[in-house]
Amino acid sequence: MAPATDKKRKHAAENTSPHKKAKKDEPPKKDKGKARATPADSEFQVVKASLVISIPPAFTADPSRGALEMLDSMVMRYIPAFQGVVLSHSHLEFLSRAAQIRNECPFLVCKIGFSATVWHPHIGQKLVGKINLSSPDHISLLLHRTFNVSIPRRHIPEGQWEFEYGAAENDPEFGPAAADVEADEDEKPVESDTGGRWVHHLTREPLGGDAKYLSFTVIGLTIANDMLSLIGSIQPDPFDPRHDAAPSRSQEVEDEEEDISAAPLRASPSDDEDAGVAKVDREEEEDAEGLLQKLGREADKVAAKAAKKEKRKKDGESKKEKKRRRETEAAPEAAPQPVEGKKKRRKGSAL
């Protein structure tokens, strides 16, 4: 009887340990690798949308061409309904067989469906752009060679990076003109940034490296002229409120100037020794100023007397001129009498 009980115990032990059976039932493991970006994590999305449009009467024979032109007008524009910029559209279809003409309007009103590829970045997303301009106040990047990104100074780590000014535009040795001369005709044109660059304070390596590609975090969106631009940050904690509260460089300079102008002047013990000398010099300056003012007043009086004398002289000359005019006007009336007498005498002498 003992061997039978041992067999039962072995079967019970096999049933209570399901490790081998579990391994068989488990599905095969997938290969490990990088996870694919979900639509929520990607900056590009394909959206299926429907829209009611009015097709002009010129496209009555081919309504699909009119609908395509309407969709083309949305490309590279920020559309609030999509919360992004439309890059392309496809799979156009009419959702109704017949169009409507409302209130004797010649336009065809119909509903269409289509798929749109949208550039839809969101706050907190990490992207990579290429630096195209560096200045002491901000860094400008170009994303996908199309979209603008701006990184303000307050969102650049202050203790790690510092701005290094570049050569002037008219510098014949280091300016952009010198770089163009040195470049060969077969080579690509050299990208020169005369405004300067941001470099590491220890290694002096430029921000973004030689390729000028920089990773940043999206902290803001700006919509202007139907286009979307981004505000980025390269701070380790980009959403720290202290970055937004930090004053800019121009504001710091203005505050320093105000503090200097508002600070009271305090005399030191050494200044007290020269106070008497300064007082005497001030009195001498005041006396000199008083003397100059007195001389100026006397000169003004002399000039006024000379002006009055000149005026009187002109008035006398004008009176004399008037008298001469009167005499010349009265003289022609008495002049003809002696002339006639002379003619009579000549006639008498001839007789």
Question: Cα dist. 168→8, 139, 172, 194 in Å?
Answer: 95, 19, 9, 6
User: Long-range contacts for 103-109 (Cβ within 8 Å, ≥24 apart)?
Assistant: 105/54, 106/56, 106/57, 107/54, 107/55, 107/56, 107/57, 108/54, 108/55, 108/57, 108/59, 108/60, 108/63, 108/66, 109/52, 109/53, 109/54, 109/55
Name the residue among 59, 89, 64 with its Cα closest to residue 74.
89
Q: Using one digit for the tens of pLDDT, what is the confidence trace for 302-328?
A: 888 888 888 888 887 777 787 788 777
Indicate the range of 62-71, 213-222, 259-268, 292-301 predicted with least confidence: 259-268
Q: Is the pLDDT of residue 297 over 60?
A: yes
- Spatial distance between the Cα atoms of 306 and 312, rounded to a whole number of angstroms: 10
Q: Detail the DSSP E strand segments found in 69-166.
A: 78-79, 84-94, 108-119, 126-134, 138-143, 147-152, 161-164
Same topology for domains 44-119 and 125-171+193-237, yes or no?
no
What letters, b where the CB count within 10 A reaches 16 and e where it falls short, cover 280-308? eeeeeeeeeeeeeeeeeeeeeeeeeeeee
- Spatial distance between the Cα atoms of 246 and 252, rounded to a whole number of angstroms: 10
Q: Is the pLDDT of residue 69 over 50?
A: yes
pLDDT at 168: 60
3-state secondary structure of 213: strand
- Spatial distance between the Cα atoms of 116 and 81, rounded to a whole number of angstroms: 12
User: Quick one: pLDDT band at residue 21, thresholds 50, 70, 90?
Assistant: very low
Mean of pLDDT over the chain: 76
Domain borders along the chain are 44-119, 125-171+193-237
Token pair 């980025």 in the structure block, residue: 232
- For the domain made up of 125-171+193-237, give the CATH fold: OB fold (Dihydrolipoamide Acetyltransferase, E2P) (2.40.50)
Q: What is the residue type of 346?
A: R
CATH of domain 44-119: 3.30.1490.120
State residue 190 phi and psi, 5-degree precision.
Answer: -80, 130
| Residues in Cβ contact with 207 at an 8 Å cutoff, skipping those fewer than 6 apart | 131, 134, 139, 161, 197, 198, 199, 200, 214
Name the most confidently modeled range: 1-15, 68-82, 94-108, 160-174: 68-82
pLDDT at 46: 95
| Residues in Cβ contact with 229 at an 8 Å cutoff, skipping those fewer than 6 apart | 147, 148, 149, 150, 221, 222
Token pair 């490990």 in the structure block, residue: 32
Largest CA distance in the chain: 209
